[in-house]
Amino acid sequence: MATLELYSKGANVWVPDPDAVWVSAQLLQDYRSGEKHLLLQLSNGNEVHYPVGSPSDLPPLGNPDILEGENDLTALSFLHEPAVLHNLRVRFLDYSSIYTYCGIVLVAINPYDQLPIYGEEVIDAYSGQDMADMEPHIFSVAEEAYRTMIRSGKNQSIIISGESGSGKTVSAKFTMRYFAVVGGAAQQTSVEERVLASNPIMESIGNAKTTRNDNSSRFGKYIEIGFGRKGDIIGANMRTYLLEKSRVVFQASTERNYHIFYQLCASRELPEMRSLKLDAPENFRYTNQGGEMQIPGTDDLSDLERTRNAFTILGVQPDQQMELFRILSAVLHLGNVNIQASGRSSDRGYIDDRSLAVFSKLLGVEGSQMAHWLCHRRFAVGGEMLVKPMTGQQAVEARDALAKHIYGQLFAWTVQRLNSALRAQQGRTKSFVGVLDIYGFETFERNSFEQFCINYANEKLQQQFNRHVFHLEQEEYVREELAWSRIEFSDNQQCIDLIEGQLGMFDLLDEECRMPKGSDESWVRKLYDQHLNSKPHPHFRKPRMSNSAFIVLHFADTVQYECDGFLDKNRDTVFEELINILKASQSELVAELFQQQRNASPVANGSIRSGKRATREHKLTVGFQFRQSLQMLMETLNSTTPHYVRCIKPNDLKEPFLFDPKRTVQQLRACGVLETIRISAAGYPSRWTYEEFFSRYRILLRGPQSQDQAQASCRQALPQLIPDPDQYCFGKTKVFFRAGQVALLERLRAERLRVAAVIIQSQVRGWLARIRYTRILWATLTIQRYSRGAVGSRLALILRYTRAALVIQKTYRMMVVRQLFFMIRHATVTIQAFTRGMLERRRYRLVSIYQLLKLTALAWPCPLSATASLSVCASDIRVDSALSLAPGLPASVLFLCVRQADCSGDQARARSLCIPALLESETIQGLSGSAVKLAVSRKRAGSDPRTVGGEAPTMASVLRELGALHTALTQQALPKTLMEQAFHQLTYLICASAFNSLLLRKDMCSWSRGLQIRYNVSVLEEWLRGRGLQAGGAVATLEPLIQAVQLLQVGKKTEADAQGIVRTCSALSSQQIVKILTLYTPHSDLDERVTLNFIRSVQGLLKGRSNSQPSQLLMDVRRVFPVIFLYSPPPVLSAEQLVIPDSLKISFLRKA
């Protein structure tokens, strides 16, 4: 419960609402203990009386405005459901940010739109960065897992969960793509390409359209991506869970079967597909039940081509692909087999259908045997085997069970082939990162065996999550030397024991399946007897109005399950005679599928949505197989360092950026995000270093204080500010607060600031009055002084006029005499000059004739050949050899050698040098030190701090590197135009790298940091202008970065400020401007965050601007400007076409 003092006039609270779940309200009067009502004003302006029975019934408090839009939910002062919902809504709708941290969990909201935040430039920006410094993103989780694996050598796992349509599969694909880029190689058919090629195959055979999602994964999967010692991908392995085989034979309205069936039907006109006898999907029973034949925006024919290409990449030959397509087509034809009741007896069925003949031909089995055993069954009576005909309904069920079984075996075979193609060599895998994509918690109007298994799996995952969070909290408390024994965390072990323990629900279900006459009703009665009457269990209940249902209290919600079909779905078997027919098939692949079944592992992929017939051959139940596979999964996860991603579906209409609070809250409860909040709130969710606390709340401390004694000051002042010692705790380097205490300190700080503001205002008003009096007095004296000066000036002016007349007369007479003197002197000098010139020219002609005769005399006796005395060197080419060489051969050899030089690492070195120098170096000393931390900012649990190896780069080091390059180019006599183009390209790389890092780091977006960056950029500008490089566009290339830092320094409050931003930031796109305004962080107490209304105003003005700017968020660091050479290039040469004779003696060269 929050401190009662916080319920004062003006405080924000949250009250329940039937439509919006929670609405904001403001207290109109202080709350006093014992009052039964609160007077509130809702956000729509209405006043209401909120009933309060006791202090525990008080509505949840709202967080301070300074914490609105935080990128980590655990940084909120009040951790409760309305605060979490509001923060997610603000980030999703106002900031267009789909990712938010929640402690160690990344919450991802499906935008139902294509966002430009997954390109290679974004991967480059997140690669090698610390997770705590970057904005929330799926790439930040992948980078954290990858770097932790490289650093510690320990295996990692990324657990992605959420309901259908929330974006789990897309998140898993982007995670795998990130690993493929950062751990990839350059081979054309590398392991990375094969890992990515598995996605279209699994989507084709494992995904289908549902009412909630057009591309819903109907199975869970866990992919282990193996890495070598150098961090490169060397292999992968996939495990699958919970394949929905019942979809093969039945689809609900507006749903589809698996994509592969419709892809095959769309390709029926291809020459190689005509032998499959396919037709339009409307003509197959297994594809027309849902009424949806086509998904808008998709092309089944092109999707099949992509699937076949993926099979080829993974090493599946075309003939094997056709065998696979033949089996899938046979499943479609099996669904069209018409089974009718016999005319002689209504309890018998018979088959007389051409679809069965096509089915038998495609699978290579005997049609008569298949027709017989689809309508008959064999059983033992007294040691004798009898054959009994089945009714028409029983035969239809046997047909559907066979279709599901064939598809399940084919699915398992495909996964096995994928693993064979992706498997790494023995002993090469050093560590791996596992990606788990599995169903989230499910609850519907009617819940059956499928939801029971899914929710059981989520109970196990939630337990693993709770214990991991508790472990991280425990490590933090031990590291800070806190007494953490008082903190309690919830555990769901009791619910798990109810399901999987001895005489639990799975045990009783398996026991009932072994009974000859077992039934669902008998199993439910055993549950009532065991868990209600004999030993009442706190997580098990019985519905009041039903004897065929039961209720389980899961961690996320209370779910009522209907027992119908539990036994049949748990058995999941097919008749032995049909299996034997398929084993004897002439098709090698069909025989292989069902021969492997005999030796199948008990933990093979089990279906939880399948048939209704059982035989003695298959004794392992689905529940038993699923428990064992889940146990193996939990052992794997417990041996790794987990990372969690919770995907949220914001609405059921699949509309972009539409937020439904009811659906969102339901998923937050189901996926464990609110449980994370409760775990954090149970301990000390807010934690500050002593320096941060002292810097923020030093105004609450009395007496002289010193930054060097921050810890002692905090320990002395906190007991006076918070009387209850249980609400805070002192650690070794941090002070910890329980939920709500930071808001209390913020309120005390605001009150102290208000009192100080009143004092400052009074002093300023007195100062202004004194200044006004002083100015009036000064103005009076000035007027008197100027009046007296004017009178004196008139007298002085008359005296100056008299004296000036005398000076003018004297000067005029002097000028007349001087002009006569200068004229005579000029004439004399002119005559002398002409005379001397004539004499000198005469002498020069005589000297020239003498020199010519002398040189002629010296040149007459010289030999005919001046090169006869030269000797031939060893490095010279003989004349006869040189004449036989191809024209320009030595020059061609030198050109090819220079072209093969590898300078590919220069860009990465330039980026690692320029980003810290431009963004982080403090050229203006002490400026960033004045900034005050306005929000709770702490390193995330589980993130190791990055060590700094050596001195950080500065602008001086950047200018030294640029100066060295400029000197080298100048010494090589590079033309100025080429030098300008080279520095134009280099300046763009520096600008794009620094600009992308600025957009992804919130700590860079402040007024003080913008001033630092602007100064660093101006230093670079002056250097470029000082060397005359601005003509090539190098200075103009820095314009986006200059406008970005100017945006951090201008005012951001009024409409005029918004118009100025739109007019000034012409080099920035709309997305970039909004992103910088969103990330802006106040640098001191006098500064404020950018309001949402101002951001919306800027967005409205930006819509009217021309669309000349690109729409992407980040600049393309790989952009290369064309280089113009002012010469005619020689013919293109290649090393293969060049013949180098032995006479050149350069045999040490090798052709690359």
Q: Write the DSSP assignment of 568-622 as a string of letters.
A: HHHH-B--HHHHHHHHT-SSHHHHHHHHGGGG--TTSPPBSS--SB--TT--S-H
Averaged pLDDT score across all residues of the chain: 83
Task: Given the residues 165, 335, 408, 1010, select the one marked as catalytic.
Answer: 165
> For 636-665, what is the HEC assignment?
HHHCCEEEEEEEECCCCCCCCCCCCHHHHH
Share in percent of the chain as helix, strand, coil (round to 5)? 55, 10, 35
pLDDT tens readout for residues 574-621: 888 888 899 989 988 898 888 755 444 333 333 443 433 434 334 578
Residue 382 backbone zone (phi > 0: left; psi -120 to 50: alpha; other: beta): left
Asked if residue 893 has pLDDT above 70, the reply is yes
Distance, in Å, from the CA atom of 1107 to the CA atom of 1084, rounded to the nearest integer, reads: 36
Residue 315 backbone zone (phi > 0: left; psi -120 to 50: alpha; other: beta): left
The DSSP element (H or E) to which 355 belongs, if any, is helix 354-363
What's the pLDDT at 939? 44
Count helices and strands in the chain by DSSP H and E runs: 36, 23
pLDDT tens readout for residues 80-121: 889 999 999 999 999 899 999 988 899 999 999 989 999 889
The dihedral through the CA atoms of 1061, 1065, 1069, 1072 has a sign that is negative
Range from 3-7, 74-78, 450-454, 839-843 carrying the lowest mean pLDDT: 3-7
**CA R_g for the chain:** 42
168 annotated as a binding-site residue: yes
* Contact of 1102 with 1070, CB cutoff 8 Å: yes
Task: Given the residues 24, 74, 110, 169, select the one marked as catalytic.
Answer: 169
Range from 274-278, 477-481, 711-715 that averages highest in pLDDT: 274-278
Tell me, yes or no, if 297 is annotated catalytic.
Answer: no
- The answer to the question of residue 1089 being in a domain is yes
Q: Residue 287's Cα: distance from chain center in Å? A: 37
What's the pLDDT at 945? 43
Look up residue 129 and give its two tokens.
């960065």
**CATH number of 44's domain:** 2.30.30
Task: For 687, list phi and psi in degrees, rounded to 5.
Answer: -140, 135
For the residues 59-77, what does the mean pLDDT come to?
85
- The answer to the question of residue 522 being in a domain is no
Look up residue 1095 and give its two tokens.
């951001």
Asked if residue 362 has pLDDT above 90, the reply is yes
- The answer to the question of residue 47 being in a domain is yes
Look up residue 725 and give its two tokens.
């010692």
- The answer to the question of residue 395 being in a domain is no
User: What would the DSSP string read from start to end of 131-172?
Assistant: GGGS---HHHHHHHHHHHHHHH---EEEEEEE-TTSSHHHHH
Distances (CA, A) of 700 to 5, 291, 694: 17, 69, 9
Tell me, yes or no, if 169 is annotated catalytic.
Answer: yes
Distance, in Å, from the CA atom of 1113 to the CA atom of 115, rounded to the nearest integer, reads: 9
Which of these three, 1085, 1103, 1121, is where a domain ends? Answer: 1103
pLDDT tens readout for residues 1105-1119: 766 556 678 888 888
Tell me, yes or no, if 601 is annotated catalytic.
Answer: no
298 annotated as a binding-site residue: no
pLDDT top residue among 618 and 644: 644
- The answer to the question of residue 117 being in a domain is no
Task: Given the residues 349, 440, 683, 740, select the one marked as catalytic.
Answer: 440
pLDDT top residue among 599 and 1143: 1143
What's the pLDDT at 632? 92
What's the pLDDT at 943? 47
Asked if residue 860 has pLDDT above 80, the reply is no
- Which amino acid appears at position 745 of this protein? L
**CATH number of 1055's domain:** 1.20.58
* Contact of 114 with 923, CB cutoff 8 Å: no
Task: Given the residues 210, 213, 287, 1097, select the one marked as catalytic.
Answer: 213
Look up residue 220 and give its two tokens.
């869970």
For the residues 732-760, what does the mean pLDDT come to?
83
121 annotated as a binding-site residue: no
Asked if residue 856 has pLDDT above 90, the reply is no
Distance, in Å, from the CA atom of 365 to the CA atom of 326, rounded to the nearest integer, reads: 13
Tell me, yes or no, if 440 is annotated catalytic.
Answer: yes
Asked if residue 868 has pLDDT above 70, the reply is no
- The answer to the question of residue 195 being in a domain is no
Reference 260, options 338, 357, 319, 325; nearest CA is 325
Range of the domain at 1056: 895-1103
- The answer to the question of residue 172 being in a domain is no
404 annotated as a binding-site residue: no
Asked if residue 350 has pLDDT above 80, the reply is no
What's the pLDDT at 875? 59
Tell me, yes or no, if 135 is annotated catalytic.
Answer: no
- The answer to the question of residue 775 being in a domain is no
Tell me the three state secondary structure of residue 232.
coil
Helix axes 906-915, 955-971, angle to 10 degrees: 140
Asked if residue 989 has pLDDT above 70, the reply is yes
With a CB cutoff of 8 Å and minimum separation 6, the contacts of 1022 are none
What's the pLDDT at 2? 46
| End-to-end CA gap in the chain | 73
If pLDDT is split at 50, 70 and 90, which confidence band does 878 have?
low
pLDDT top residue among 343 and 748: 748
Task: Given the residues 217, 307, 689, 713, select the one marked as catalytic.
Answer: 217
Reference 199, options 306, 296, 294, 299; nearest CA is 306
What's the pLDDT at 601? 36
* Contact of 132 with 943, CB cutoff 8 Å: yes
pLDDT tens readout for residues 140-191: 999 999 998 998 889 999 999 888 788 888 999 899 889 988 886 444 346 7
Polymer length of the chain: 1152
Domain count, the chain: 2
Place of tokens 């609400």: 727
For the residues 192-198, what does the mean pLDDT come to?
82
Which percentage of the chain shows pLDDT scores above 70? Answer: 85
Look up residue 480 and give its two tokens.
């800070």
If pLDDT is split at 50, 70 and 90, which confidence band does 522 have?
very high
167 annotated as a binding-site residue: yes
- DSSP class of 99: E
Tell me, yes or no, if 152 is annotated catalytic.
Answer: no
Range from 217-231, 374-388, 746-760, 901-915 carrying the lowest mean pLDDT: 901-915
Place of tokens 């906190």: 718
Q: Each residue of 697-709: b (16+ CB within 10 Å) or e?
A: bbeebeeebeeee
Task: Given the residues 164, 443, 686, 954, select the one marked as catalytic.
Answer: 164
Tell me, yes or no, if 148 is annotated catalytic.
Answer: no
Distance, in Å, from the CA atom of 1041 to the CA atom of 1068, rounded to the nearest integer, reads: 9
Which of these three, 1087, 1103, 1119, is where a domain ends? Answer: 1103
If pLDDT is split at 50, 70 and 90, which confidence band does 324 have?
very high
Distance, in Å, from the CA atom of 162 to the CA atom of 170, rounded to the nearest integer, reads: 12
pLDDT tens readout for residues 934-973: 333 444 444 444 444 457 788 888 898 889 888 988 888 7
